[in-house]
Amino acid sequence: MGYFFQQLVNGIMLGSVYSLVALGLTLIFGILGVAHFAHGHFYMLGAFLMFFLSVSFGVPYWAALAISVAFFCLVGVGVEFIYRPVRDKSDVSAFIVAIGMLLVIEEAVRAVWGTGNRRITNPYPQVLKFAGITLQYQRLIIIGAAIVLIVLLHLFIKRTRMGSAIEAVAQDREGAALVGISVNRVSILTFSVATGLAAAAAGLAAPLAFIAPDMANTLVLKAFVIIVLGGLGSIKGAILGGYLLGVMEALAIAYISPAYKDVWAFAALILILAIRPTGLFGGRE
Amino acid sequence: MLLEIKSLTKKFGGLVAVDGVDLEVEAGTIMGVVGPNGAGKTTLFNLMSGQLKPTSGKIKFDGVGIDGLKPFRIARLGIGRTFQNTSLFDRLPLTVNMAIARRMRTHSGFFDSLVPIREREEEADVARRALEMLEFVGLAGNAESIAGSLPQIAKKRLAIGMALVGEPKLILLDEPTGGVGGDDISGLIELICQIRERGVAVCVIEHKMRMVMGLSDRIVVLNFGRKIACGTPEEVSEDPGVIEAYLGSGYSA
Amino acid sequence: MTAENLRKYGVFIAALVVACLLPYIGISKFMLNVIIYAGIFSIATMSLNIIMGYTGQVSLAQGAFYGIGAYGLALLTNKAGLNFWVAMLLACLITALVGLLIGLLAFRTRGPYFIIVTLCFNFIVYVVIKNWDWLSGGVRGQKIAGPEFFAGRDARYYLVLGFVLLALFITWRLSRSLEGLGFMAVRDNEPLADALGINITYTKIVAFMISCFLAGLAGCLGALHTGYLSPSSAHYMLSFNFIIYLLVGGAGTLYGPLVGTFTVYLALEFMKDIGEYRFMIFGAILILTVIYFPRGIVGGLKSLRRWLKSFRKKIAGNKKAEEGA
């Protein structure tokens, strides 16, 4: 039972990361129709920035995290500008731009930091023990921080003018433009928030992970699986799907086989889409 | 009867777009479909040609039940159609547009394309019919132009030709004169009459009342998804229900 | 041959003559090797062109089908002991069959969903090949031996050349056949094609099977030429590469895949000295191509020629008008 519970916590932690990344992706996809396939690479960049700040400059953990998130909110603005010329073209164009972006980022990181795995020191190496389970503090911090971020995002969208503009564009882009909402501004804002979320997820998970240029390759694909299953553009679907996939994966690694750990999610996706071509929770065409 | 529709109903969520409509179309006649915006005319067409599946009711075409069939099956059975927004293959030349529309009547597959024996015969036949049809709709002079570069009226004519070139027994025209100027309209009316002369039945959605009255053999009037009248233009125009619900203010205009 | 035909096919014939003489004009072994690979990848890119360029369905699974072809050939020759040519044909047919099964599932979705489903499939194939030791030799890979005749590099070159021509022929015939009309109809306007009696799912699946057959063929040739197979032959980076080649060359054009593959692949080989930076340049080129040259090299040249023609006509018209005045 203790082992199961331990895996469950691992799954929820993994799910927290998935949810944060998938949230950004679903905002971008749902609102702008851009298949931002390079999103995972900004997660990877976020992890490297954490490494750079805390190892090379000795910046304390939380300060490094704050700097990283702020920086990547700005980076998101730049990303939006790259996508802008293809935003209203076919799905394919944006996807190809994303692949180009991903190649540039991955190779740039390789050129600067090499291909090896890097680590940053865990700021909270203590463990919590109860009822036969050992939990690292950092895992609990990830889970807690993800919940805080999700609640903040929810409040931002529901309670602020800027946030509700995002929701309006998500529901009806032309309508939103007609009532005077600037789609360009919303687009910039969305990319900024999404990229910031990815950096936050990366910063939170960084102390527990190997940091390498190819760390995000399956992450973005999984995030896509999550948002497709959750319904493109659905915030609730991305959160639920993220946690669900995290837990499923942790249990599959523990009880079935770690070699095929990445396969289950994708196989599930193909099967589910074959039965429900627009995702589990409805979603939009 | 060529087409028999029995108590056809389509619901979108709580909204009833088409509500228990009965309708019959005789071979080689023109049926006008009129009604105010949102009356369910286009939905009715989409049900007839398979773009939408009916919630309940039956559609029988040429003795075969077609409700719930996919659009391409219905097209092959002999119902052609145009769309309100004049949908074409914009990047391709007119001849290719026509050839695509004729494709369903050919049998050549992938292997025929590699060893073109049957293919050559069919290609020649398709090319001949495509040209013939372009002539019929008055576009023979533009045969090699790109469809997207045509003026609106020519696009309308091309769309009608594409619906016809597969030799349907019935074609559905969704607002063929929408967005077309005064002089061009009479040409389109003439074209629609010529279609009837070919023995093809026509269902036409139209807002311009005077035009529809002059053109149609029979007219069906829809309002809020219900059929409120059906008959010859004279019968319909004298129907008190129609005058009240729809024509009252519109007919005099 | 008429003058017009000569002009039309002149470039093609000249290129073919050069291609046939290539091993005899003092080309280095290294260079010939690069060209053979470019030829093999161009077949894979042509396979993508059929499903993406002509039918409008962006498949990110072509790397997987390349790998399925390659591993199919290896299994059928090494484990089943079949004759090489029989094994090759069977491997391509198996690839097409897998394409049929995946197509039946994947074509229930469209647009971005389809892209993601195919990419996931590619990923699954890659992981399975990497981990299923008995089947694939796992990460160690496995050797593969072709007929003795193809031990020489020149012979393999001509074999690849022959299959490049075959793939070109198939694309050429398809692009001007009735079957190809259906493909283009599905690509340009699905609802209209449906209303005009074209069975969309069937059309997509036929296109996908042809495409997979060719991808499998490229995989077989790749396996034969390398003589060794590792899981990277089914990596999804291959799928990305094929898309890049196709877009640079021009999707939906006959020669686009060939031109794109050779341009990009050769350029990357020559840039090997600058190491990993070349992929950055590559990525940047990709972004710029999609934004500013969405029709690729061949598509761009076509537009240019059309523009020149109309420009010349205009000048001629002006001259006439001047003479008249």
**Same domain, residue pair B230 and B106:** no
What residue spans define the domains of chain C? 30-294
The CA-CA-CA angle for residues A65, A68, A73, to 5°, reads 125
**Same domain, residue pair B158 and B172:** no
A249 found inside a domain: yes
The number of folded domains in chain B is 2
**Same domain, residue pair B6 and B56:** yes
**Same domain, residue pair B161 and B201:** no
**Same domain, residue pair B156 and B198:** no
Higher local confidence (pLDDT), B105 or C286: B105
A79 close contact with C: CB closer than 8 A: no
Per-residue confidence (pLDDT) for residue C275, from 0 to 100: 67
A126 found inside a domain: no
**Same domain, residue pair B135 and B173:** no
**Same domain, residue pair B8 and B46:** yes
**Same domain, residue pair B69 and B187:** yes
Give mean pLDDT, residues C75-104. Answer: 93
Q: Is residue B251 over pLDDT 50?
A: no
Give the DSSP letter string of A166-229: HHHHHH-HHHHHHTT--HHHHHHHHHHHHHHHHHHHHHHHGGGS-B-TTTTHHHHHHHHHHHHH
Give mean pLDDT, residues C29-41. Answer: 93
pLDDT, tens digit, 9 for 90 and up, residues B57-73: 999 999 999 998 999 99
What's the fold here for domain C30-294?
ABC transporter involved in vitamin B12 uptake, BtuC (1.10.3470)
Token pair 């050549």 is found at B108
pLDDT, tens digit, 9 for 90 and up, residues B93-150: 999 999 999 999 999 889 998 988 899 999 999 999 999 999 999 999 999 999 999 9
**Same domain, residue pair B153 and B112:** yes
Per-residue confidence (pLDDT) for residue C203, from 0 to 100: 96
pLDDT, tens digit, 9 for 90 and up, residues B200-241: 999 999 888 788 888 999 999 998 889 988 999 888 888 888
pLDDT, tens digit, 9 for 90 and up, residues A194-251: 999 999 999 998 888 888 888 887 888 889 888 888 877 778 888 998 998 899 888 8
pLDDT, tens digit, 9 for 90 and up, residues A28-58: 887 787 888 899 999 999 999 999 998 888 8
Query: CA-CA distances (angstroms) from residue B76 to B101, B197, C199?
Result: 11, 22, 10
Q: Is residue C102 over pLDDT 60?
A: yes
A108 close contact with C: CB closer than 8 A: yes
Give mean pLDDT, residues A81-92. Answer: 80
Say if CB C201 and CB B70 are below 8 A apart.
Answer: no
Write the CATH number for A171.
1.10.3470
At A284, the pLDDT band (50, 70, 90 cuts) reads: very low
Mean pLDDT of chain A: 84
Determine whether the interchain pair B99/C181 forms a contact, defined as Cβ–Cβ distance below 8 Å.
Answer: yes
Give mean pLDDT, residues C33-37. Answer: 93
CB atoms within 10 A of CB C20: 11
Per-residue confidence (pLDDT) for residue B252, from 0 to 100: 44
**Same domain, residue pair B15 and B55:** yes
What domain range is B70 assigned to?
A: 1-78+168-253
What domain range is A219 assigned to?
A: 2-116+131-275
A53 found inside a domain: yes
User: Among B116, B150, B165, where does a domain finish?
Assistant: B165
The number of folded domains in chain A is 1
- Is C250 in a helix, a strand, or coil? coil
User: How far apart (Å, rounded) are the C-alpha atoms in residues C231 and B195?
Assistant: 61
B83 found inside a domain: no
B126 close contact with C: CB closer than 8 A: yes
**C contacts of B148 (beta carbons < 8 Å):** none
Q: Is residue A110 over pLDDT 90?
A: no
Q: What ipTM was predicted for this assembly?
A: 0.92
Q: Is residue C213 over pLDDT 90?
A: yes
A123 found inside a domain: no
In B198-217, the residues whose Cβ lies within 8 Å of chain C are none
pLDDT, tens digit, 9 for 90 and up, residues B15-66: 889 999 999 999 999 999 998 888 889 999 999 999 999 999 999 999 999 9
B186 found inside a domain: yes
Per-residue confidence (pLDDT) for residue B246, from 0 to 100: 64
Mutate which: C116, C132, C272, C281, vs A, most A CBs within 10 A: C116
pLDDT, tens digit, 9 for 90 and up, residues C245-276: 998 899 999 999 999 999 989 988 887 777 66
CB atoms within 10 A of CB A38: 27
A282 found inside a domain: no
Per-residue confidence (pLDDT) for residue B30, from 0 to 100: 95
Determine whether the interchain pair C185/B83 forms a contact, defined as Cβ–Cβ distance below 8 Å.
Answer: no
Nearest alpha carbon to residue C225 among C35, C30, C37, C23: C37
B49 close contact with C: CB closer than 8 A: yes
Mean pLDDT of chain C: 88
- Is A42 in a helix, a strand, or coil? helix
**Same domain, residue pair B64 and B185:** yes
**Same domain, residue pair B97 and B154:** yes
